[in-house]
């Protein structure tokens, strides 16, 4: 059984919805949970949802939790929140960035830049702020787990939901770059795109039948794996809801390489089917791996470039020891 005894988890947007369920679930498995929310007025069953209410549920069940009201779009306040967590518990083991805000669905012609800025502030700037504040303490202890919350809207784009789609897509690349940097430092970073019925689901156009078949708990089970010391993956993305779990990845086809003499718009157009062909695709873990794929393709068609690339690789190899 995966337990979190002795571990401390900070969860953003945990006063309601999926974040609330994450908090309850991790606390039930022994984690000390920091329940973060800005308590901006959301109501559930006629009651004001709040971080304090979630903490009361956890402590009533014998768990350990504290509530922290904080606008995660404010970097200084986030830093103060993490410092308070460290002062209280002495460590921070897991960060789950769950907080999200939305805009009304509509055509792109109707979209407002104010909505984009508001959504980026919480979803993207907030994700950056909490990860940045947690990063150094995690590196100092040689251990950490970060779970970003994406969306199918970010993976594939959601019709009539432009700003939210853009914001969630940004978290995909933040996940990848942090995972690459943390890989040898004990910090793993992954992303979950949840599908679950919450009080905000109706506004997003999620059918009400999902209330029965996609409770938030079915997302929290995966999040617990990614937040645990035994997490087997890093830099990965998942779609999860209703008991369904799938890996999401960005692939790169084998492509087609031209040289200066043969590459023309017409040649590209003629070879578009080959460029698009997915057979034999690769899944680069990061941009360095993608760049290596590109370099290898160029080298295969250009002996002069291949020689330069080989020299560069030799130069990067460590020399013999004393």
Residue listed under structure tokens 């023309």: 264
Q: What is the pLDDT of residue 209?
A: 78
- Taking all residues of the chain, what is their mean pLDDT, rounded to a whole number? 92
One domain for residues 190 and 64:
yes
Among residues 102, 143, 164, 281, the one annotated as catalytic is 164
Regarding whether 182 and 62 lie in a shared domain, the answer is: yes
Report pTM: 0.92
Predicted pLDDT of residue 320: 54
> Same domain for 64 and 181?
yes
- How does pLDDT run across 63-96, given as a tens digit for each residue? 999 999 999 999 999 999 999 999 999 999 999 9
If asked whether residues 22 and 48 sit together in one domain, one would say: yes
Domain holding 282, by residue range, is: 265-316
Average pLDDT (97-107) is 93
In a domain, 215, yes or no: yes
**The domain spanning residue 43 has which CATH number?**
3.40.50.720
Q: Are residues 229 and 299 in the same domain?
A: no
Are residues 112 and 164 both part of a single domain? yes
Average the pLDDT over 244-271 and give the result. 95
Contact 144, 138 (CB under 8 A): yes
For residues 113 and 24, state if they share a domain.
yes
- Do residues 62 and 128 both lie within one domain? yes
Q: Which is higher by pLDDT, 28 or 209?
A: 28
Residue 38, both tokens: 């800005």
CB 24 within 8 A of CB 57: yes
Residue 42 has pLDDT above 50, yes or no: no
**Quick check: is 182 in a domain?**
yes
Annotated active-site residue 164? The verdict is yes
| Residues 131, 82 contacting (CB under 8 angstroms) | no
| Pair 196, 241 in one domain | yes
> Do residue 154 and residue 109 come from a single domain?
yes
């Amino acid at each position: 059984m995966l337990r979190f005894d002795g571990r401390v988890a900070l969860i953003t947007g945990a006063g309601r919805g999926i974040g609330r369920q994450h908090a309850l679930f991790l606390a039930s498995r022994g984690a000390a949970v920091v329940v973060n929310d800005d308590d901006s007025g959301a109501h559930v069953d006629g009651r004001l949802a709040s971080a304090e209410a979630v903490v009361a549920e956890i402590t009533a069940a014998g768990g350990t939790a504290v509530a922290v009201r904080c606008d995660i779009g404010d970097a200084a306040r986030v830093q103060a929140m993490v410092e308070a967590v460290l002062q209280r518990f002495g460590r921070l083991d897991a960060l789950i960035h769950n907080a999200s805000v939305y805009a009304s669905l509509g055509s792109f012609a109707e979209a407002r830049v104010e909505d984009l800025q508001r959504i980026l502030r919480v979803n993207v700037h907030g994700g950056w702020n909490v990860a940045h504040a947690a990063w150094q303490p995690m590196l100092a202890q040689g251990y950490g787990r970060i779970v970003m919350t994406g969306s199918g809207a970010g993976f594939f784009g959601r019709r009539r939901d432009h700003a939210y789609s853009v914001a969630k897509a940004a978290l995909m690349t933040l996940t990848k770059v942090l995972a690459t940097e943390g890989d040898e430092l004990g910090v793993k970073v992954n992303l979950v795109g949840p599908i679950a019925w919450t009080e905000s689901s109706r506004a997003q156009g999620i059918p009400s039948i999902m209330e029965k078949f996609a409770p938030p708990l079915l997302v929290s089970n995966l999040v617990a794996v990614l937040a645990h010391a035994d997490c087997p993956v890093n830099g990965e993305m998942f779609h999860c809801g209703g008991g369904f779990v799938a890996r999401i990845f960005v692939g790169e086809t084998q492509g087609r390489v031209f040289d200066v003499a043969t590459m023309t718009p017409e040649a590209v157009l003629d070879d578009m089917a080959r460029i698009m062909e997915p057979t034999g695709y690769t899944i680069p873990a990061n941009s360095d791996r993608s760049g290596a794929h590109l370099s290898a393709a160029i080298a295969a068609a250009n002996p002069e470039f291949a020689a330069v690339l080989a020299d560069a690789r030799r130069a990067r190899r460590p020399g013999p020891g004393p």
